Structure 1
Amino acid sequence: MTKIAVLGNGRVGGGLATALTRAGHEVTVADRSPGSAAAAARAARIVLNATPGAGSLERLVALREELRGKILVDVSNATVDGPDGLPADLLYPGSSLAEQLQEALSDTRVVKTLNTMLFTVMTAPAALTQPPTVFLSGEDPEAKQVVRGLLADLGWHQDWIADLGGIGTARATEAAVLFVPHVIRSSGFTPFAVSIAR
């Protein structure tokens, strides 16, 4: 059992919190009340960022002391939305939210994952008709190993997990969000994920 704080209680954060609790972890979901995120992060070993990506950097930098020494699992994509509310461009072109977080929070171990799929797939990868791929980006091997364990608890087989390397590789997976509006417009909100076929 691991103490996990989930920042963000929307569809993504709520779904992950429910699945991780079911897997036996002690999960706290921070609400929007003042001090909630700080208290939750302070008490956790792992903090999961499921806040809207456009505001994530500011929110998390405000928790610098609470995040010191922690593993920060970032599942958000920082985008500029189009008129229909779907992602139209990247907020950090030539970089990524994960890189911005790691640079700003040098005493926190940032791991990027679960950001290349419709949110329902995060906690039910086996529901797809073919094996999906989930990616890991981060500088700390031990932190990535811990996150591998969390992914396994969410139903991800080890051979579905691809470690891409350092945090700089997150810019590639974050750019994959630009596929999303086109897939949704053509197929609706049917569960989908990026999959590497070999």
Structure 2
Amino acid sequence: MTTIAVLGNGRVGGGLATALARAGHDVTVAGREPGAAAEAARTARIVINATPGAGSLDRLVALREELRDTVLVDVSNATVDGPDGLPGHLIYPGSSLAEQLQEALPDTRVVKTLNTMLYSVMTAPATLTQAPDAFLSGDDPQAKQTVRQLLIDLGWREEWITDLGGIQTARATEAAILFVPHVIRSSGFAPFAVSIAR
């Protein structure tokens, strides 16, 4: 059992919290309120950032002390919405939210994952008709191994998890969010994930 704080209580955060608690972890969920987030992060070994990506950097930098020596799992994408409310463009072109977080929080081990799929797939990957991929980006091998085990607890098979390398590789997976509006307009709001055919 691991002590986990999920920051963000929307569809993403709520779904992850429920699934991780069902897997036997000690999970606390905090909304966007600074006090609640600080309290949750202070006692957790792993913190999951499931807050809207546009405000994640400021929100998490304010928790620098609480996040010291923790594994920060970043599942958010930092985008500006278009007129239809879907992601229009990236806030950090040529970089990524995960890289910005790691630079601003050098005493925190940031791992990027689960940001290349519709939220429902994060906790139910086997419901898709084809095998999905979950990607890991991060500079700390031990932190990535910890997150890999969390993914397995969420129902991800070992062969569905791909370690892309250092935190800079997150800019590739974050850019994949730009597929999302086109996929939704083409085929509707149905579960999907980016997958690498092998």
**What is the TM-score of this pair, normalised by structure 1?**
0.99
**Total equivalences in the alignment:** 198
Counterpart in the other structure of 1:81:
81
Task: Provide the aligned C-alpha RMSD in A.
Answer: 0.6
The residue aligned with 2:51 is 51
Please state how far the C-alpha of 1:33 moved relative to its aligned partner: 3.9
Question: Which 5+ residue runs of structure 2 have no aligned equivalent?
Answer: none
Q: What is the deviation of 1:31?
A: 2.5
* Aligned: 1:132 with 2:132: yes
User: Superposition pairs for residues 29-178 of structure 1, below 5 Å?
Assistant: 29-178=29-178
Deviating 4+ runs (over 2 angstroms): 31-34
Deviations 1:40-65 (A, max 9, x none): 00000000000000000000000000
1:20 aligns with 2:17: no
**One-letter amino acid of the counterpart of residue 46, structure 1:** I
| Cα distance, 1:34 vs structure 2 | 4.5
Aligned-residue identity in percent:
82
Give the SS at the match of 2:72: strand
Alpha-carbon separation, structure 2, partners of 1:69 and 1:43: 11
Distance verdict in 2 for CA 1:32–1:55, change over 3 Å: closer
Shift in alpha-carbon separation, 1:190–1:91, aligned structure 2, 3 A:
same
Listed as ranges, the gaps of 5+ residues in structure 1 are none
Partner-residue secondary structure (3-state), 1:64: coil
